[in-house]
Structure 1
Amino acid sequence: MRRTRGAAASDDGEILSKTYQELFDQRGSAYDRAMRRYPEARRQEFEQAIEAAAPAPGMVVADVPAGGGYLQAYLPSGCTCLGHEPCASFTNHGAVAGQPTQLLPLPWARATVDRAISLAGVHHLDDKRPLFSELHRVVRPGGRLVVSDVAAASAVARFLDGYVGGHNSTGHEGVFLDERTLRELAEAGWTVENAAIRDFHWVFPDRTAMAMFCHELFDLRSSTPADTQAAIEDQLGVSTLANGGAAMHWSLMTISARRT
């Protein structure tokens, strides 16, 4: 990923926003096409994040960054979902309200959100502290934040920074979750209640569909779907389901934190 390593972020997180935007303004449309083609593939991923957040009917749930608004479909009935996504390559299909132009500041008033979920987006941010502070501002006392993203030194991290970064349109240099992330949440005022590695699967009709999904999701340009299938099988692992489907192994570090 093209990023300015070590550059200081401004108070409003402008450098962070541009870094995320540069990435997904270039390949967000391909990502979104893959998600629309196989909308159920990552169900387990979304469901584990929502389980950690434990939203109840009537609650306001913020999804940041929201991508194409995929999380909303998995929320309990009666929840209000507020999606915030700075990249037009996602928002141009209308799944996320408005046309934001930057990640921060968040467009909501203080203490108006019951639950906030950040799924698979913050590993693109060099400095996550401005986002954590803004989420602390908008979540009500007693509310909860769930950050679920790739763990440092994991097989998924190696796959993304290795195979994906070597073959996609933007490169990939993730700033993955680790003990520093927990400290940064605490510095932003959050009380971390739980942090654990969650193992689950991305599920497809067959291995060909799995390879095509990942090839498009990651906008792989200099490899073939057959190469992608081989890399997934070798680096992540794939299980064959009883119905012949393919269950691609994936994992994230999921952190639950309370707003006190």
Structure 2
Amino acid sequence: MKSDDNVTIEEKNPKKDFDLDSRWGNYIKAGTDFPVARKIEIDEMLERASAQEGEKVADFGCGDGAITLPLAEAVGPDGHVTALDASDGMLRGLTRRIGNLAVDAVHLTGPDLPLADGSVDLVTSLANFHHVPDKIRQAREFARILRPGGRLVIGDVPDNTNIQRYFDGAVDEMSSTGHKHRFLDPWDAEFMCAESGLTLVSWEIRPVPWIFDSPSDAARFLHLIHDATCTPQECLDRARLDLGYHEEPGRFLLFWKLFYLIAHKPIS
């Protein structure tokens, strides 16, 4: 991967994401108060995942269930989703929303996944994989739990873009936990898949703007989702500058983009 692989995320940023009650609590509140803000990126992820009735799915870094619950609806009562996250707070938020869906919420304490070899048809991860320090080791775990022919779908921040620079700059400065991580680029994706025994099928960087009714809504969303230590207006000012935006009566868009990766586990 990158030349600084010997430097761990903890060394770069000793404050751990989502340990603070305010961090995970405000992240959940951002999604609850503004449920359509991230709709485009979520829909793009679900389209690529293409979960089918009866499938077994592992949703890695599930958070409060942005794609977990739609995946569970797609696989139906004969399928199952294992929701995996390192944050107890996030999992508690998800558990409150599961209802009768076939979802198990599982707390992770490291890269090893508590699932049997070849036990799932699909592994998904949306907006979380950049938190993983050793991406090759984690991808090998994904490959282990996938059945032959199973697929991996990741949607995450693309490296060497204004989105990455926004995270490493503005978000790292204003978030309660900081935010310096490693992000994916095409070379990393290809190398990671080759090292883990997966076949990279496709990758693309896709524009997926965040949608709001007004700039003030965008400011509040950013303040919540980053658990910011500055004001909502300061959050918005940085986002306008770093990300770009479009404004019209009754509609405000922050320009966002994600790196979408699809890989398969070879059948033989």
Is this a same-fold pair by TM over 0.5? yes
With over 3 angstroms needed to count, the CA separation of the structure-2 counterparts of 1:142 and 1:255, relative to structure 1, is same
Pick one of 243, 247, 252 that aligns with 1:240: 247
Q: Pick from 233, 249, 253: which aligns with 2:259?
A: 253
Alignment of 1:11-90 (within 5 A): 22-26=16-20, 27-75=23-71, 77=74, 78=76, 80-90=80-90
Deviation at 1:175, TM superposition (A): 0.2
The letter of the residue matching 2:24 is G
Indicate which of 132, 148, 151 corresponds to 2:139.
132
**Which runs of no fewer than 5 residues in structure 1 stay unpaired?**
10-14
Q: Measured at CA, do residues 73 and 99 of structure 1 come closer, stay the same or move farther in structure 2, by a change above 3 Å? A: closer
Gap change, CA 1:135 and 1:5, over 3 Å in 2: closer
- How many pairs were matched up? 248
Deviates more, 1:231-240 or 1:130-139: 231-240
Q: Is contact 1:20-1:124 (8 Å) kept?
A: no
SS of residue in 1 equivalent to 2:40:
helix
State the one-letter code of the partner of 1:182.
E
Describe the SS at the equivalent of 1:252: strand
Q: Does 1:196 align with 2:209?
A: no
CA offset at residue 66 of structure 1? Answer: 0.8
Aligned to 1:169: 176
Render the CA deviation track for 1:150-174: whole Å, top value 9, x for unaligned: 1111111111111111111121112
Aligned residue identity for 2:159? A
Q: Does 1:108 align with 2:122?
A: no
Looking at structure 1, the residues matched to 15 and 110 of structure 2 have their Cα atoms a distance apart, in angstroms, of 8
Contact 1:145/1:257 (<8 A) preserved: yes
By how many angstroms is 1:184 displaced?
Answer: 1.4
Q: Distance in 2 between matches of 1:180 and 1:218?
A: 26
1:92 offset after TM fit, Å? 2.1
- SS of equivalent to 1:140: strand
Q: Could you list the runs of 4 or more consecutive aligned residues of structure 1 that deviate by over 6 angstroms after TM superposition? A: none
Q: Which residue of 2 aligns with 1:184?
A: 192
**Partners of 1:101 and 1:117 in 2: how far apart?**
15
Alpha-carbon spacing, 1:8–1:173, altered in 2? closer, same or farther (3 Å): closer
- How well do the aligned residues superpose, as a CA RMSD in angstroms? 2.5
Instruction: Quote the Cα distance in structure 2 between the aligned partners of 1:87 and 1:25.
Output: 7
- Which segments of 5 or more consecutive residues in structure 2 lack a partner in the other structure? 98-102
Question: Counterparts of 1:189 and 1:5 in 2: how far apart (Å)?
Answer: 20
Query: Does the CA contact (< 8 Å) of 1:46 and 1:74 recur in 2?
Result: no
- In 2, the alpha carbon distance for the partners of 1:196 and 1:163 equals 25
User: What TM-score, normalized by structure 2, do the two folds share?
Assistant: 0.84
Q: Is the 8 A contact 2:189 2:261 kept in 1?
A: no
Fraction of identical pairs, as percent: 30
Deviations 1:21-78 (A, max 9, x none): 9211122222112112212211111111121222222222211011112212333532
Structure 1: how far apart are the matches of 2:113 and 2:36?
A: 29
Change (3 A) 1:163 1:123: same
